[in-house]
């Protein structure tokens, strides 16, 4: 977009869906246009926002497309992808901030793997460096980068060749409110496309999480993950944010609750011993690398608080969301 063109610098089309993102879209676009990369365009598709998003977006030199009705992020991304001039599509969200070198990292990754769907992830520390926001950023960063190849590529940092995206037919628009990137990734993998994560492609997310927002987010994502996983018959798959570590953590939490009730009702002291053994396995063995990520990011005190939150409170909304997802799935199946 700025500076001299370099023939090795492929043109990147940054595609951003926006819905009532007035609190973040300005910072998102400022970060994109602060890039050190020299060959890119920005396409923002507004999904019928009711706030002043359009006024903010129009301050920047980007292609601005407004949908005729509120249709969801999948249609917004597909519409944006139909209006590009670049060889590389880079999908991000309106609450994500590129680093100055993010687009250069995208270009470098693309040049070495044009036939792959390449994913990036969140920075370890979130933009709003509060406890609950950074807890979530570390959890996602760890979960999305720990496994190669990954089970899916997230749309908060997805790199794909224009030709592959066109051939795929794009994101499924009549889908669950979340997880269109998971369905898209699974579909392309079946088509023979390689999925790969590149930890050098980073975006800084604006969470603005409080305790309540963190718990609500965990419930909502767990519910839709469960519905999709039941349909896809991969409920126990180690899949990014729906990691095997998180699933074990939730299972050990509810088993510990059962053992605690058994202790109070039957006075069985072995139940307490089993709780300590179970949680030791959970923290010291199954989730040890996540604990190490908490420790490395913010130190001992943060890691201690994160472990308490992760093992004592966080499993409640995840478990409740999973149960709600099972009920919704069974109800829809019976109908």
pLDDT > 90? residue 226: yes
Work out the mean pLDDT of the chain and round it to a whole number.
94
Q: 3-state DSSP: the chain helix, strand, coil percent, rounded to 5?
A: 50, 15, 35
Rg of the chain over CA atoms, in angstroms? Answer: 21
329: tokens are 């799935």
User: pLDDT of 167-199, one tens digit each?
Assistant: 999 999 988 888 999 999 999 999 999 999 999
For residue 2, the model assigns a pLDDT of 43
Which of 233, 180, 207, 191 shows the shortest CA–CA distance to 71?
180
Mean pLDDT of 78-98: 97
User: pLDDT of 298-312, one tens digit each?
Assistant: 999 999 999 999 999
Residue position matching structure tokens 């917004």: 76
Beta bridge partners of 16: 44
Distances (CA, A) of 132 to 104, 210, 235: 30, 6, 26
Query: Coil, strand, or helix at residue 4?
Result: coil
Pairing of strands 88-91, 63-66: unpaired
User: pLDDT of 143-170, one tens digit each?
Assistant: 999 999 999 999 999 999 999 999 999 9
Beta bridge partners of 13: 41, 89
C-alpha 218/C-alpha 319 separation (Å) is 9
The angle at the Cα of 185, spanning 181 to 187, to the nearest 5 degrees, equals 115
Burial (CB count <10 Å: 0-12, 13-18, 19+), residue 128? middle
pLDDT > 70? residue 7: no
Q: For 146-242, where are the alpha helices, taking DSSP H only?
A: 162-168, 180-190, 211-232
For residue 333, the model assigns a pLDDT of 65
Rounded to 10°, the helix 244-266/315-334 angle is 100
C-alpha 153/C-alpha 147 separation (Å) is 12
User: pLDDT of 92-144, one tens digit each?
Assistant: 999 999 999 999 999 999 998 878 899 999 999 999 999 999 999 999 999 99
Percent of the chain at pLDDT above 70?
97
Both ends of the chain: CA-CA distance in Å? 52
pLDDT > 60? residue 231: yes
215: tokens are 């718990």
For residue 334, the model assigns a pLDDT of 59
User: In terms of pTM, does the model score above 0.85?
Assistant: yes
What number does CATH give the domain 12-209? 3.90.550.10
- On whether the CB atoms of residues 39 and 9 are closer than 8 A, the answer is yes
For residue 269, the model assigns a pLDDT of 84
Provide the residue ranges of all domains of the chain, joining segments of one domain with +: 12-209, 244-334
User: pLDDT of 193-222, one tens digit each?
Assistant: 999 999 999 999 999 999 999 999 999 999
Pick left, alpha or beta for residue 115 (phi over 0 → left; psi -120 to 50 → alpha; otherwise beta).
Answer: alpha
pLDDT > 90? residue 332: no
User: pLDDT of 284-300, one tens digit each?
Assistant: 999 999 999 999 999 99
Confidence of residue 21 (pLDDT cuts 50, 70, 90): very high
């Amino acid at each position: 977009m700025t500076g001299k063109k370099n023939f090795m610098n492929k043109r990147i089309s940054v595609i951003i869906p926006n819905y009532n993102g007035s609190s973040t879209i300005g910072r998102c676009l400022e970060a994109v246009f602060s890039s050190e990369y020299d060959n890119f365009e920005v396409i923002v598709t507004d999904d019928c926002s009711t706030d002043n998003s359009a006024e903010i977006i129009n301050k920047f030199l980007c292609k601005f497309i407004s949908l005729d009705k509120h249709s969801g992020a999948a249609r917004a991304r597909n519409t944006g992808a139909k209006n590009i001039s670049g060889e590389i599509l880079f999908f991000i969200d309106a609450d994500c901030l590129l680093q100055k070198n993010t687009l250069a990292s995208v270009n470098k990754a693309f040049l070495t793997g044009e036939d792959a769907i390449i994913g990036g992830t969140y920075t370890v520390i979130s933009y709003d460096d509060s406890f609950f926001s950074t807890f979530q950023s570390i959890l996602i960063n760890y979960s999305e980068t720990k496994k190669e190849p990954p089970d899916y590529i997230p749309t908060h940092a997805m790199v794909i060749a224009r030709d592959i995206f066109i051939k795929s037919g794009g994101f499924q628009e009549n889908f669950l409110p979340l997880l269109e990137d998971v369905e898209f990734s699974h579909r392309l993998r079946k088509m023979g496309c390689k999925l790969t994560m590149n930890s050098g492609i980073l975006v800084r997310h604006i969470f603005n999480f409080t305790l309540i927002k963190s718990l609500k987010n965990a419930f909502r994502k767990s519910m839709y993950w469960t519905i999709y996983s039941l349909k896809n018959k991969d409920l126990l798959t180690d899949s990014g944010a729906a990691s095997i570590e998180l699933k074990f953590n939730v299972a050990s939490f509810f088993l510990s609750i059962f053992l605690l009730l058994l202790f109070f009702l039957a006075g069985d002291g072995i139940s307490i011993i089993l709780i300590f053994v179970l949680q030791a396995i959970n923290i010291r063995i199954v989730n040890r690398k996540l604990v190490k990520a908490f420790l490395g990011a913010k130190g001992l005190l943060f890691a201690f608080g994160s472990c308490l939150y992760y093992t004592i409170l966080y499993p409640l909304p995840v478990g409740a969301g999973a149960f709600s997802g099972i009920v919704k799935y069974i109800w829809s199946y019976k109908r």
